[in-house]
A and B are shown apart, each in its own frame.
Chain A
Amino acid sequence: DAGVTQSPTHLIKTRGQHVTLRCSPISGHKSVSWYQQVLGQGPQFIFQYYEKEERGRGNFPDRFSARQFPNYSSELNVNALLLGDSALYLCASSLRTGGKNTEAFFGQGTRLTVV
């Protein structure tokens, strides 16, 4: 079975532009979460979606938005890019949301560089 796939793997954007990152979860997984990992830091939670509904949101500005599609894939959108948005964006999928045995499986990430 394919794992979590993210696209693109790398991209470079200019300040003020908009970016869309994509994630396909493991087959059968209904929950997708997004994390931002700045160089040298641990990942920070951005969003969680389950059954196409937002279930959680981290401390990120409204420039960040996301959605989940009927096939459970997801997009993360970032508007008005800032230099500080440069990071590795990780997508994680899990079978469901909540519960102590919930395991999250991560994709390889999208490396975003804002210049």
Chain B
Amino acid sequence: GDSVTQMEGPVTLSEEAFLTINCTYTATGYPSLFWYVQYPGEGLQLLLKATKADDKGSNKGFEATYRKETTSFHLEKGSVQVSDSAVYFCAQYNTDKLIFGTGTRLQVFP
């Protein structure tokens, strides 16, 4: 069935380091892909999205490119900040529902 797999955390980085969080998916058809972020004690916030192959979603310095050939949607940021510390979820939207990965916790230290 359709699924999303993302790298396990926690990912621990120093401020201004480069971030990559890997995400791959299996899907029937061509889903839309999303990254959501969850700060402690809060719900999910949409970070970025891409709806078709080779689309690049970007927001707040984060980027991810929809790679159909590798079924991937890796999240990247060139220089992380302490305020980026949160749990990041990769998701696909297919047949009227979101399918999420298990989440990757990012911890950024000054």
Contact = CB atoms under 8 A, between A and B. Distances in A.
Contact of A42 (B46, B49, B102): B102
B26 to A, nearest CB: 15
Interface in A67-115: 90, 92, 97-98, 100-109
A82 B89 CA distance: 27
With most chain A CB atoms within 10 A of its CB, the pick from B43, B51, B99, B102 is B43
Given A90-B44, A108-B42, A42 B103 contact: yes
B106 to A, nearest CB: 15
Nearest to A102: B93
Q: For this complex, into which size category does the number of interface residues on chain B fall?
A: 20 to 34
A106 B46 CA distance: 8
Contacts of A44: 100
Interface in B7-63: 30-32, 36, 42-46, 49, 51-52
Interface in A6-27: none
Nearest to B102: A42
A101 B97 contact: no
B97 A58 contact: yes
Contacts of B4: 42
Contact of A102 (B32, B44, B91): B32
A35 to B, nearest CB: 7
Nearest to A90: B43
B96 interface: yes
A101 B32 contact: yes
Nearest to A35: B98
B89 to A, nearest CB: 5
Interface of B: 4, 30-32, 36, 42-46, 49, 51-52, 89, 91, 93, 95-103
17 contacts: A35-B98, A41-B103, A42-B101, A43-B44, A45-B99, A48-B97, A90-B44, A92-B44, A92-B98, A100-B30, A100-B31, A100-B32, A100-B93, A106-B43, A106-B44, A107-B43, A108-B42
